[in-house]
Chains A and B, each alone.
Chain A
């Protein structure tokens, strides 16, 4: 205390003329007491509250995605609801919400119900039922307000059927018709057996359609192109073209014959498939026959054991991760989208890593440090903040149209006017994203390079190592954690980016994967599917956003998990490498 006062006094002596009065006041406030303004408690709470709000935002968001995504595939019970109008519906309760009935609805209500709602500030609960049977009702979801429910029951017979087309069916199974013989009320084992048979037939037919038939088509097209190539090279009507035509004609004829044979096979397989049918009835008693091969999965929803539920849950996840989408992407799997996202991200990383590191090495190790380099550095830093859509515009205009158009003219004239590289595709998307993420890699690599102590470089050079040797063996290994972090963050950003991809090559349904067994195996010119775009497409552009909702949640969960895993990996790598090189400091 004494020391402090002394110091203060000394200070005052120095500037006693100017700050005499403030000094006095200062001494006054030193007296013990409670000055609450100094604690600024309201502001502290505002700050703490903001932090809490920010954290609630992120946790709430993650919780929403994870809870909805993880529960989407869990089999729900089927409730049979009798409405006040006497109509009966059967469906899975999807979710509940509190809403405001319109004045008109309120006016039509009975007095007690109305009073209850008014007492609740005009709010009423309602439940969304998935009633399915789109082919019966042209509507597969229905909101049912609480006041409209007369009674609710659960029937053990009610089946939920996931179908190849028309979405789910909810109703009763009446009989099984297998090639003429009819079994009324088939038990599960019989049904399973017939189903397995029908699905096998279907698989076989699909195998023919996707295997030999598509191969034959491909070959016919190749022959046609060979003629066109000769025509472009040697001119119309030239002997070379005639020769090519002569060579192609018998082959094409042979292939066409094979094609016809295969088509007959497919038709007979189709007929065999169609012979196995089931008769079903919806809750209202409307009876119809369905081919059993169209059933993907079926279960008696109210008669499931926990094991059965888990089995269905897992099988749905398996289908989601490995199968192709159906029903305009609102059902089935997202395998092509997962694969497309993966391939694009990998290609992007392969492009961005060497170039980004090279640019950073140039800026940090080779370029003369001066005004211009620091200006370039500022610009590169800023490019990380340029909107992704701008890169998309550039990618479409430059990569696809200018570069791709030239490639088409040079190498693929026989396909024109149908573009090969001259439109959006995997390569251009990857290049666009590489461009988008290269500033991130440059900045982080530069930072990593700058953090390698100068003394290590000097030591290496003093031992007689050349500049490249120093970089290769001393600088780069030390900078690796930073480089890896930057690269993985770039990949995470690239995997989650959608806006530019929508312009340069993502499609809602790609007929072929970018990598397959057809030469040259990797088809960088193909358009592809992407998880992020899948979310946008199913959520916003499908027939019924409600039908795709759970699908979107699961897709979002997968994308989010992918991005979070990449982010976590980058942090782990950074920490591990940091530890590894921690002792290397001089």
Chain B
């Protein structure tokens, strides 16, 4: 294509006489450019594509990595607030960490701007001269209760009222605080995006005193909970008075229909404790009011069952701290199922109420230490828990404040502080888990903001055993979402990886024999012209969309399988037996006829054999079900009847092998010599007799062994079979077989076909039969290729999504039962990712699932590919 200027003939009178034949050897510029451009574009584009494909893995890692990170905490905003009326007993912080409240034991409330420490307002609960003797607050700190020396209790609230206001209606006398927020001497005004202003104002309210204890018996301990809905709150509190009487009180607010006034009525019930008031360290009540915990100074916890207030009784007494150790701080975790216990020996543990069928307690439940944070630097004296997650903060005697996470049993971080930090008297974790307010003994206030995005995930929580609240023992659990906010998210990948492997293995158990046997037959026995039809037909199966397979298997097949489950289980024995029976019948044919029928007729015979085998299974199934499983296989899987029948089925292959091996050893040579003199079909008849007798022997042996094993307590139920569930692993495996069989078949057939033809010819030429050639020459040569076919099939089974989603119940459980569901990594991603909030722990964990899946399949495939390439090279050299 180079541009060549040709010399034209009829131009002799040219002015340039010296030129005769000019040949411009220069390539056209456009061609050069085009070439360079194409080279550049292709190289860049090609590298880009390849890089993109590899970027997938790095992106997955990039998204999943923050799961294992810790987090950061700012340097503290530190300032001093003037003390007002006694020690600080409670502190609150609003959702935006802007307005702080500090409540003193005398009922004085200081509202201050949290970032700067500027005092905004002072308020005072009016106790009408009474002296508070006890104080309690709810988890949020919005509702409080004071107990008084005269035995009365006053309930109240200190809330931070938050609302958006129109900037045009702001008060005039606003003072700007450091940081741009403003105040008018009562509320704080924050600027928010979209030209709006958020007003945060402290509000106080106090109900009339209610007499709980006998007049004059001071309330010593108090705990207060508010449950129910915001329209109809249920307020309950527990108290212990100076006389040592413990009471549970429920306050009902009633609105008078006539006057519109609210009056509070009180229902008091005494809880019999028999404890000396001076020994009590703290009392704790749960929101339902059905559990009262009294912790004594000698490290014992007394749990009272108050489900029915009339019959309140001591349910359990458990030692939570060693003798001589005093509890220094106690708090319920969010959800109130677990108790954080800090002791004077610097220990920090979490105790949870767990149903263990204990004899020592009245309800079988037992407080159990489920998390141990080890020995802290100094005893933890103050605790505060998150209102949304399992985070909590603790301040130790040296004034150091640390952040912990319960589920991951992790000391997440220590907040940076000056060396001589004051001991903390009150502590608050901001509602959004992003700031901590600590108030020191002498009014030293510190405010940290922190960012710990994924405290609940560590290598251990993702891959190790974790003891979750309310679980009888540590385990692997996946339960990402739940109905309530206070539920503990459980993100263990182990059940998912297990489910993936379980599904893949069972489906391979089913698919590999079929695919390989079919591949060998196709490659070695079929006429090339039939092979050219059969192979693409089988490969067509690979192109069936998996959603269609999933639908057919889950909605059409699973009810049928459920009806015919006994027949199907038995078919695994009946079908091969029937087929082999056909083989022995075929041997009865005289040799010339057998040879004549070897092509298509024999192929048709296989179909007939298979059809008959399936028909036999269907007919015999119910009969055998009556004989073996008491007529109802599903009931049998749930535990009815004897274990022996299934063991019989399980050990059948073993006894078969054993019988035929042993029989062959003993009789083999003699038998063969005897047969050799007979014509083929006669020999076939003898063989049939031998096979039938061996089969009967194998069946009898299996039955005997099953009886022995069954009566010695061995039972497959609870292992590989268990209660039948309609969508189960068996169904899913069958569905996945549709996806896996064609892949293994196709690659294995290719591998067999790639064995050089001269090996085949040599073997056949030496007089070996086709079967001998296939078994002893072709198979060993193609072994590595077949192995890689299985590996690639396994990779496909591991990653299959839709079939697993549809055909299994997606239950993340750890058991091997064939009749139970499973949840695979892929299905898990598919089910949960559309709902996951971007950048949440669940979102990143699902990316981690993707990464695990990617790595699993990548390793499998690479391994298979390397083996295959080696096989190809070797085959080429043969």
Q: Give the interface of A toward B (CB within 8 A).
A: 30-31, 33-58, 61, 64-65, 97-100, 121-123, 236, 354-356, 358-363, 365-367, 376, 378-383, 385-394, 396-398, 401, 435, 438-439, 442, 463-469, 471-472, 489, 492-493, 495-499, 502-503, 532-533, 535-536, 539-540, 545, 549, 552, 556, 559-560, 563-564, 567, 571
7 pairs of A and B residues whose beta carbons are closest in the complex: A387-B799, A362-B46, A496-B545, A40-B771, A33-B676, A45-B583, A50-B517
| Residue from B35, B43, B518, B677 within 8 A of A466 (CB atoms) | B35
Asked if B680 and A34 make an inter-chain contact with CB atoms under 8 angstroms apart, the answer reads: yes
B806–chain A nearest beta-carbon distance, Å:
6
Residues of B within 8 A of A545 (CB): 555
Asked if A397 and B31 make an inter-chain contact with CB atoms under 8 angstroms apart, the answer reads: no
- Could you tell me which residues of chain B, from 590 to 640, have a CB within 8 Å of some CB in chain A? 591, 602-603, 605-607, 609-610, 613, 622-623, 625-626, 631
Asked if A393 and B606 make an inter-chain contact with CB atoms under 8 angstroms apart, the answer reads: no
Q: Counting CB contacts under 8 A, is B72 at the interface?
A: no
Residues of A within 8 A of B43 (CB): 362, 366-367
A43–chain B nearest beta-carbon distance, Å:
6
Residues of B within 8 A of A540 (CB): 554-555, 806
Asked if A31 and B676 make an inter-chain contact with CB atoms under 8 angstroms apart, the answer reads: yes
Residues of A within 8 A of B738 (CB): 57, 61
B723–chain A nearest beta-carbon distance, Å:
17
Q: Counting CB contacts under 8 A, is B107 at the interface?
A: no
From A38, A361, A387, residue with most partner B Cβ within 10 Å = A387
A-B contact count (CB 8 A): 353
- Beyond the given A43-B771, A387-B854, please list 16 additional residue pairs across the A-B interface where CB-CB is below 8 A: A33-B676, A34-B678, A34-B683, A36-B683, A44-B583, A45-B582, A45-B586, A47-B525, A48-B606, A55-B534, A61-B541, A362-B50, A366-B42, A387-B800, A439-B53, A502-B834
Listed by A's residue number, 25 A-B pairs whose Cβ atoms lie within 8 Å are: A34-B678, A41-B583, A43-B775, A45-B580, A45-B586, A46-B517, A48-B606, A52-B606, A58-B538, A61-B541, A65-B548, A98-B563, A366-B43, A381-B861, A390-B850, A390-B854, A397-B847, A464-B2, A467-B39, A468-B34, A492-B543, A498-B546, A532-B548, A536-B802, A559-B548
In the assembled complex, the Cα of A38 lies from the Cα of B676 at a distance in Å of: 12
Residues of B within 8 A of A45 (CB): 579-580, 582-583, 586, 606, 609
Asked if A49 and B534 make an inter-chain contact with CB atoms under 8 angstroms apart, the answer reads: no
Question: A45-B586, A50-B514, A362-B47 in contact; A563/B610 too (CB < 8 A)?
Answer: no
In the assembled complex, the Cα of A390 lies from the Cα of B829 at a distance in Å of: 9
Asked if A50 and B518 make an inter-chain contact with CB atoms under 8 angstroms apart, the answer reads: yes
Residues of B within 8 A of A393 (CB): 60, 829, 833, 846-847, 850
From B534, B548, B741, B806, residue with most partner A Cβ within 10 Å = B548
Q: Counting CB contacts under 8 A, is B54 at the interface?
A: yes
| Residue from A36, A358, A499 within 8 A of B675 (CB atoms) | A36
Question: A41-B584, A54-B745, A496-B545 in contact; A401/B50 too (CB < 8 A)?
Answer: no
Asked if B534 and A51 make an inter-chain contact with CB atoms under 8 angstroms apart, the answer reads: yes
B846–chain A nearest beta-carbon distance, Å:
7
A531–chain B nearest beta-carbon distance, Å:
9
Q: Number of contacting residues on B, CB 8 A?
A: 132
Asked if B613 and A49 make an inter-chain contact with CB atoms under 8 angstroms apart, the answer reads: yes
Asked if A392 and B829 make an inter-chain contact with CB atoms under 8 angstroms apart, the answer reads: yes
In the assembled complex, the Cα of A549 lies from the Cα of B552 at a distance in Å of: 10
Question: A366-B43, A439-B53, A498-B546 in contact; A387/B560 too (CB < 8 A)?
Answer: no
Asked if B63 and A397 make an inter-chain contact with CB atoms under 8 angstroms apart, the answer reads: yes
Asked if B678 and A560 make an inter-chain contact with CB atoms under 8 angstroms apart, the answer reads: no
Residues of A within 8 A of B678 (CB): 33-34
Residues of B within 8 A of A31 (CB): 676
Residues of B within 8 A of A57 (CB): 541, 737-738, 741
| Residue from A48, A49, A55, A387 within 8 A of B538 (CB atoms) | A55
Residues of B within 8 A of A536 (CB): 547, 550-551, 802, 805-806
B796–chain A nearest beta-carbon distance, Å:
7
| Residue from A58, A378, A539 within 8 A of B862 (CB atoms) | A378
Asked if B826 and A49 make an inter-chain contact with CB atoms under 8 angstroms apart, the answer reads: no
| Residue from A36, A358, A394, A503 within 8 A of B587 (CB atoms) | A36
Q: Which residue of A lies closest to B743 (CB)?
A: A385
Q: Counting CB contacts under 8 A, is B497 at the interface?
A: no
In the assembled complex, the Cα of A337 lies from the Cα of B32 at a distance in Å of: 48
Asked if A51 and B547 make an inter-chain contact with CB atoms under 8 angstroms apart, the answer reads: no
A227–chain B nearest beta-carbon distance, Å:
14
A539–chain B nearest beta-carbon distance, Å:
5
Question: A40-B772, A469-B35 in contact; A435/B52 too (CB < 8 A)?
Answer: yes
Asked if B801 and A389 make an inter-chain contact with CB atoms under 8 angstroms apart, the answer reads: yes
Asked if B580 and A42 make an inter-chain contact with CB atoms under 8 angstroms apart, the answer reads: yes
B557–chain A nearest beta-carbon distance, Å:
9
| Residue from B32, B687, B850 within 8 A of A36 (CB atoms) | B687
Residues of B within 8 A of A363 (CB): 46, 50
A388–chain B nearest beta-carbon distance, Å:
7
Asked if A55 and B833 make an inter-chain contact with CB atoms under 8 angstroms apart, the answer reads: no
B384–chain A nearest beta-carbon distance, Å:
33
Q: Which residue of A lies closest to B63 (CB)?
A: A397
Q: Which residue of A lies closest to B626 (CB)?
A: A121
In the assembled complex, the Cα of A82 lies from the Cα of B50 at a distance in Å of: 68
| Residue from A52, A61, A354 within 8 A of B544 (CB atoms) | A61
Question: A36-B687, A496-B546, A532-B545 in contact; A564/B45 too (CB < 8 A)?
Answer: no
Asked if B50 and A380 make an inter-chain contact with CB atoms under 8 angstroms apart, the answer reads: yes
Q: Which residue of B lies closest to A566 (CB)?
A: B543
Q: Counting CB contacts under 8 A, is B13 at the interface?
A: no
Q: Counting CB contacts under 8 A, is B684 at the interface?
A: yes
In the assembled complex, the Cα of A355 lies from the Cα of B540 at a distance in Å of: 27
Q: Counting CB contacts under 8 A, is B74 at the interface?
A: no
Q: Which residue of B lies closest to A354 (CB)?
A: B45
Residues of B within 8 A of A499 (CB): 546, 801-802, 805, 826, 830
In the assembled complex, the Cα of A348 lies from the Cα of B576 at a distance in Å of: 45
Asked if A48 and B853 make an inter-chain contact with CB atoms under 8 angstroms apart, the answer reads: no
Residues of A within 8 A of B858 (CB): 382, 386
Asked if A58 and B792 make an inter-chain contact with CB atoms under 8 angstroms apart, the answer reads: no
From B521, B560, B737, B838, residue with most partner A Cβ within 10 Å = B521
Asked if A39 and B771 make an inter-chain contact with CB atoms under 8 angstroms apart, the answer reads: yes
| Residue from B584, B806, B853 within 8 A of A42 (CB atoms) | B584
In the assembled complex, the Cα of A361 lies from the Cα of B46 at a distance in Å of: 8
In the assembled complex, the Cα of A309 lies from the Cα of B541 at a distance in Å of: 34
A176–chain B nearest beta-carbon distance, Å:
40
Residues of A within 8 A of B582 (CB): 45
Residues of B within 8 A of A41 (CB): 583-584, 586-587
Residues of A within 8 A of B583 (CB): 41-42, 44-46
Asked if A355 and B45 make an inter-chain contact with CB atoms under 8 angstroms apart, the answer reads: yes
In the assembled complex, the Cα of A243 lies from the Cα of B424 at a distance in Å of: 58
Q: Counting CB contacts under 8 A, is B41 at the interface?
A: yes
Asked if B579 and A49 make an inter-chain contact with CB atoms under 8 angstroms apart, the answer reads: yes
| Residue from A36, A64, A379, A497 within 8 A of B545 (CB atoms) | A497
Asked if B833 and A396 make an inter-chain contact with CB atoms under 8 angstroms apart, the answer reads: yes
Question: A38-B771, A41-B587, A383-B53 in contact; A390/B853 too (CB < 8 A)?
Answer: yes
